[in-house]
Structure 1
Amino acid sequence: MSGASGGGKDGRLGWGERIGYGLGDLASNLYFQMFNMFLLFYYTDVFGISAVAAGWIFLLSRIWDAVNDPVMGILADRTRTRWGSFRPYILWFAVPFGVAGYLMFYSPDLSPGMKIAYAAVTYLAVQMLYTAVNIPYSGLMAVIHPSSAERARVSSIRFIFAFLGGWVIVQFLPPLKESLGGGDDVLGFRNTMAIFATLATVLFLITFASTRERVAPEVKTSSRAEILADLKTLLRTRPWLILVFAGLINLMAVAIKNGSNIYYFKYVVGNEVEVASFGSGGWMAMILGVMCTGVLIKFFEKRQLIIWLTIIGGIGMALPYWIDPELRITLPGLETGAYTIFGLEMTSIEFFPENPRWIYLINLIGSFAAGPPVALVWTMYTDVAAFIRWKHNRRITGLVVSAAVFSQKFGMALGGWFAAVLMAWCGFKSNVEQTDDSKHAILLLFSLIPAVLIVVQGISIFFYRLTDSQMKRIELELEADESAAAQPTGS
């Protein structure tokens, strides 16, 4: 396998490879967070299809993913090339993924029925290509280094870049949309996505070029019996089942919360542009939280840290239900004003605006708490892959992470469907003054509903029993077994 060497002199990966790997999640999140934060809004308020139609597109596409995602994981586990098992898919599908993402926001002038069909086809195509790139990308982290501690470092860096992708979307989409569209939202979204899609493609290619696979693959057949054995092993692995459930619940909450932000500021607060400063501050707080992960895991076990931080994050999500959005904090001496980035006017998009609303401060605290759990959960998936190798002597890394990606995508789709159906049921109509029932539904989606889901996620991790000390013992035993297997036998 290409790049079987072990990294730096101390056995750790070099910073070039860590950052190169992280850039792949920046690329992924230029799509993922675009969908998460703005796709439902784009479909209802720009492309012009109903919230119910958009919700069903999100949900029904996941039926295909139930087949497509595990197949991609099984395929990646059995791929053997000079570039490895997972890296080649990043190379092969980066460009098609970029093209499909652009077409998704192309917004052709069609009849109402054909608009729904176009949205469904392009959404399904993008999700399939997301699978083809992101499952191998996620699987790559499990084979980039044999040490769980080193994978935790890589995961922390990865999610700094992942959250940076969310910040880029919320910070730059509004001014780019205005600048490139000249007031036409259709043209603005189309041209802005052309930039994001091109950038994502380049970043994926950098990830391919800068990373290596170091954990040798098991020789696997593609027989039906072998595939069924892999699936049975996965389904009887309790830590994996718990992580899949937690991931599904988490992404439901994230999809509901982030997707409702723009509706909340447009229809409840009455100032759509403030979603940028609100979201920008939240993403910066999440990045800071991820940067603190390495320090926090020195004092707390991963499992305990996730439980408590998710509960804190859930409380932070719930509080805005009872807080008047007009309630502001007076900060004497703080002065903010107009500024530009790359020539774009950012007058209404400030990290911490003058006399900010109380909900801004609460969002910063909750977002900071949400950062470390995301990075740590992905480290746990790689731990589960090592646990399965140790307990069942099977290497099914691709299958393990494919289910993780599926749970994320299904959670996001289920959250988007739920939000769309609830808003439609309460009488939501795009681009008009909302009824009290519709505003209350948006407020629930912005606060209490995702808060309850986040707390459920934290409780579910309580039942995850792979401790850090147990993983160290498993890694030592796996290393000893592989060293023994590598020794030449006597004549």
Structure 2
Amino acid sequence: MKDESKWQTRWPERISYGLSDAADNLVFQMMTTYLLFFYTDVYGLGAGAAAILFIVARVADVVESLIIGLMIDRTHSKYGKSRPFFLWYALPYAIFAILTFVTPDFSATGKLIWAYITYLGLGFLYTAVNSPITSILPTMTRNSRELTLLGVIRQFCGSSVQIIVAVFTLPLVALFGGGNQRQGFFWTIVVFSIISLILILNTFVHVRERFTDHEIAHQPLRKVVKMLRQNRPWIVISIVIFLFWLVTAIKNQTTIYYFKYTLHASGLVPLANSFTLSSLLGVLLIMRLTHHLSKKQTMQLGIIVELVGQLLLSGGVYLNLLPLLFAGILVNSVGNGIVVGLVSIMIADTVRYGMTMGIQAEGVLASTDDFGVNMGLGLGGLITAGLFDLAGYVPNHAQNAATLGMINLNYVWLPLVIYLLMLATLHFYNEEKMLLEING
């Protein structure tokens, strides 16, 4: 399949496509960064109960990712296969986001049941509005450079919002709550959810699916499964995505605990998170880097940059040097931007590779993104909350030595190991063979 010389999209569509990820991240980043803290220190759930909730939710989300992927591949609509999901699920997603941060005055059991209902519901609806962002990409254009541009725009918008949420959530909670964190978290998520709803609907209005081969677009599941087994690049990138979100969950959720209980300076969390602004530089570098390097080589470079940043952060932690720690966050975030910015682009390549085998299953193949997100976040939440619980974590009290040691394990050492695993896994991504088949 030859690349089209003419670019099919225009800037209103490109920006609207990118804003879909911004919309999802308004809620998603608040959930990944602050929900564990909200459950333990605001809502009053035990760390052990929160750990079990996270793993149950992520197991459910793994199944839901595959279900949504199959639903996309079996959708027959005048709007296409992926696009209608933005219309159907935007409002329910916004409603459940708000309900997740509602704090009814129930008994301990009632609170836990409420958390399960709202969090599990939010997980399903997040998948329903997020999977189509990845699955629709290879149908928007057949131009490889344009696919890369669209992926970069998407990640730039998504990363920008991640940074906005990371930096401004706690100040907004303080502003809206006036000292009442329950009220502050509620009104913050209300604002984020309304904006998210508007942006998702805007995406539905402006994006288009142009390239669907109807002869191979709705194949039986047995044929899709056979193609998946043969699609080695898809398997490799799926593992890398899982590892990326695993390390992201562990680091993001531990940050507030490190600053609150180790440094006794929780007010520095917004400042520390502000250094993740550098991830935007990583995203913007993708277009230039991929002009000289393959996508695989570019992602490998991004992981190496993440490793260097994590080593600097480690030095800042153990030498008790805040400037060095902040420098580590900054460098690490550049690498994060490169890696995560390439994810949807490389998945789009695996979709096109599947088409050379006679199967267009963008829904199932794209579900690996949310599959990896959900598995990574679930296991990351389980590791963080579970280790804290084993160490004897007590909310809003001075922590024992074991808990402080677990905080350092999560914030410093586990990320170093996971970055090395990502680098080793990506070695098996055979990009050259795949592109020969796509373009041959």
Amino acid in the other structure paired with 1:230: V
Aligned residues: 438
Aligned: 1:81 with 2:77: yes
Aligned-CA RMSD value: 2.0
How far is 1:325 from its partner?
Answer: 7.0
- 2:130 counterpart residue number: 134
Query: 1-side partners of 2:320 and 2:8: how far apart?
Result: 49
**Maintained 8 Å contact 2:176/2:188:** yes
| Of 299, 320, 325, the match for 2:292 | 299
| Superposition map of 1:134-153 within 5 A | 134-153=130-149
| Superposition map of 1:46-445 within 5 A | 46-219=42-215, 226-282=220-276, 284-324=277-317, 327-328=320-321, 357-390=323-356, 392-445=357-410
How far is 1:221 from its partner?
Answer: 8.8
**Maintained 8 Å contact 2:217/2:360:** no
Amino acid in the other structure paired with 1:300: L
The secondary structure found in structure 1 opposite 2:198 is helix
| Change in CA separation of 1:54 and 1:79 when aligned onto 2, cut-off 3 Å | same
Query: 1-side partners of 2:190 and 2:62: how far apart?
Result: 29
Q: String of CA shifts for 1:213-272, please: whole Å, max 9, x gaps.
A: 11124246978xx11221232133211111111111111100000111111111111111
Query: 1-side partners of 2:413 and 2:304: how far apart?
Result: 13
- 1:25 counterpart residue number: 21
Query: 2-side partners of 1:127 and 1:432: how far apart?
Result: 31
Structure 1: runs of 5+ lacking an equivalent: 1-5, 329-355, 478-491
| Change in CA separation of 1:68 and 1:324 when aligned onto 2, cut-off 3 Å | closer
How far is 1:320 from its partner?
Answer: 3.0
How far is 1:182 from its partner?
Answer: 1.1
**Maintained 8 Å contact 2:353/2:434:** no
Q: String of CA shifts for 1:307-357, please: whole Å, max 9, x gaps.
A: 2321331232244334347855xxxxxxxxxxxxxxxxxxxxxxxxxxx62
TM (norm. structure 2) is: 0.95
Amino acid in the other structure paired with 2:298: L
| Change in CA separation of 1:221 and 1:461 when aligned onto 2, cut-off 3 Å | closer
More helix by share: 2
TM (norm. structure 1) is: 0.85
Amino acid in the other structure paired with 1:291: L
How far is 1:202 from its partner?
Answer: 0.5
The secondary structure found in structure 2 opposite 1:323 is helix
The secondary structure found in structure 1 opposite 2:431 is coil
Amino acid in the other structure paired with 1:165: V
| Change in CA separation of 1:167 and 1:21 when aligned onto 2, cut-off 3 Å | same
**Maintained 8 Å contact 1:256/1:419:** yes
| Change in CA separation of 1:10 and 1:217 when aligned onto 2, cut-off 3 Å | closer
| Change in CA separation of 1:273 and 1:361 when aligned onto 2, cut-off 3 Å | same
Give runs of ≥4 in structure 1 deviating > 4 Å.
Answer: 219-223, 324-328
| Change in CA separation of 1:287 and 1:95 when aligned onto 2, cut-off 3 Å | same
**Maintained 8 Å contact 1:385/1:395:** yes
Structure 2: runs of 5+ lacking an equivalent: none
| Change in CA separation of 1:48 and 1:217 when aligned onto 2, cut-off 3 Å | farther
Query: 2-side partners of 1:404 and 1:170: how far apart?
Result: 22
- 2:412 counterpart residue number: 447
Amino acid in the other structure paired with 1:140: I
Larger radius of gyration, structure 1 or 2?
Answer: 1
Shifted more, 95-104 versus 243-252: the winner is 243-252
| Superposition map of 1:468-487 within 5 A | 471=435, 473-477=436-440
The secondary structure found in structure 1 opposite 2:105 is coil
**Maintained 8 Å contact 1:427/1:437:** yes
| Change in CA separation of 1:220 and 1:385 when aligned onto 2, cut-off 3 Å | closer
**Maintained 8 Å contact 2:80/2:209:** yes
Q: String of CA shifts for 1:424-453, please: whole Å, max 9, x gaps.
A: 111111100011211111111111111211
Query: 1-side partners of 2:213 and 2:333: how far apart?
Result: 38
**Maintained 8 Å contact 1:321/1:444:** no
